[in-house]
């Protein structure tokens, strides 16, 4: 995304430089007409230049540079004409000169910086730049609204995500599923909240995580039913699988219930990869890496079930198929 932004900025800067080039050519055209003309034609040219909105101060500065290098015998005459033009446009020679120098310098420096930055991005290790990316999402559901969301956080680098769902209308229904991978000393923390603010609301969250290579993962699942919200149901499951003893994982279910006539449940678990499953897959001819890859894929795949867009589902499956690498 940063590369795209930089390339777009480079394109805009090149466009500005191109306009500078066009202004320089226009100044040259005015200068040639000035040199070729007599007193009458120069008066006509002056009137034209006075009202030419496409002839900027940058072009005026170029015109002055051309006059500076004109024949000594005619230079003063050209300068008199040029000063008349400046007065008519309510600018000074110093102003147009400074504007040309500043604009040209800024554009050329910007372009050089963009090119250098794009080259640097190719060799940049992002986790050294962004220690932790933080994201907050608040979703409000009105009466009888139904929301199904699947989150897949499979990216590189540390991350902190906060996802809050507020069931503000009677009959609102929220089903949330999340798949998370933490690896290579990444630190990831997720807070998923479903809060019931109206009666007869339903909330279900299923959060799955995989931790490997000294990664750290914390998942906080929070279900809240406020007083008076009878007939509501809050259910959650938080499960994390760890690949090795150096991983840190914590699955924390929280239920805050302030009403009697409700249904609520939670389940949480953190455990190592099933060695029997690993052995079985290896006995079928898979390498240990392939077996771990397949187990990871199967563990996180339930998130796909809430995706009803085939194109997104295919892209998600493609991303999940690589997480065991």
Q: Give the start-to-end residue ranges of the domains of the chain.
A: 2-121, 132-271
b/e code 23-52 from CB counts within 10 Å (16+ = b): bbebbeebbeebeeeeeeebeebbeebeee
Packing angle, helices 57-68 and 72-88, rounded to 10: 160
Average of per-residue pLDDT across 168-189:
91
Give the best-scoring range by mean pLDDT among 93-102, 146-155, 222-231.
222-231
Once rounded to an integer, what is the mean pLDDT over residues 187-204?
A: 95
pLDDT tens-digit series, residues 59-72? 777 777 777 777 77
Percentage of residues in the chain with pLDDT exceeding 90?
Answer: 29
0.85 exceeded by pTM: no
Q: Note the pLDDT tens digit of each residue in 270-282.
A: 988 778 888 888 8
Mean pLDDT, to the nearest integer, of 230-254?
A: 92
């Amino acid at each position: 995304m940063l590369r795209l932004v930089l390339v777009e900025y480079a394109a805009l800067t090149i466009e500005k430089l191109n306009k500078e080039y066009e202004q320089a050519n226009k100044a040259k055209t005015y200068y040639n007409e000035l040199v070729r003309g007599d007193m009458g034609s120069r008066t006509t040219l002056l009137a034209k230049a006075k009202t030419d909105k496409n002839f900027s101060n940058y072009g005026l500065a170029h015109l002055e540079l051309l006059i500076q290098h004109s024949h000594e015998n005619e230079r003063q005459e050209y300068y008199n004409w040029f000063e008349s033009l400046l007065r008519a446009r309510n600018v000074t020679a110093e102003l147009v000169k400074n504007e040309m120098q500043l604009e040209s310098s800024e554009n050329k420096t910007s372009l050089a910086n963009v090119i250098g930055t794009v080259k640097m991005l190719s060799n940049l290790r992002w986790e050294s730049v962004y220690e932790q990316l933080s994201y907050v999402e608040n979703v409000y559901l009105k009466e009888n609204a139904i929301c199904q969301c699947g989150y897949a956080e499979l990216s590189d680098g540390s991350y902190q995500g906060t996802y809050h769902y507020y069931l503000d209308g009677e009959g609102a229904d929220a089903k949330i599923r999340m798949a998370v991978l933490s690896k290579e000393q990444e630190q990831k923390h997720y807070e998923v909240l479903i809060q019931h603010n109206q009666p007869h609301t339903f909330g279900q969250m299923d959060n799955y995580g995989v931790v490997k290579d000294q990664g750290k993962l914390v998942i906080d699942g929070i279900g809240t039913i406020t007083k008076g919200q009878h007939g509501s149901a809050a259910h959650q499951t938080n499960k994390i699988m760890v690949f090795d003893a150096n991983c840190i994982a914590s699955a924390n279910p929280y239920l805050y219930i302030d009403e009697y006539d409700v249904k609520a449940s939670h389940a949480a678990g953190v455990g190592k990869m099933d060695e029997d499953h690993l052995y079985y897959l290896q006995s079928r001819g898979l390498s240990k890496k392939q077996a771990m890859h397949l187990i990871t894929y199967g563990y996180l795949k339930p998130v796909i079930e809430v995706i009803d867009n085939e194109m997104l589902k295919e892209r998600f499956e493609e991303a999940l198929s690589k997480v065991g690498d």
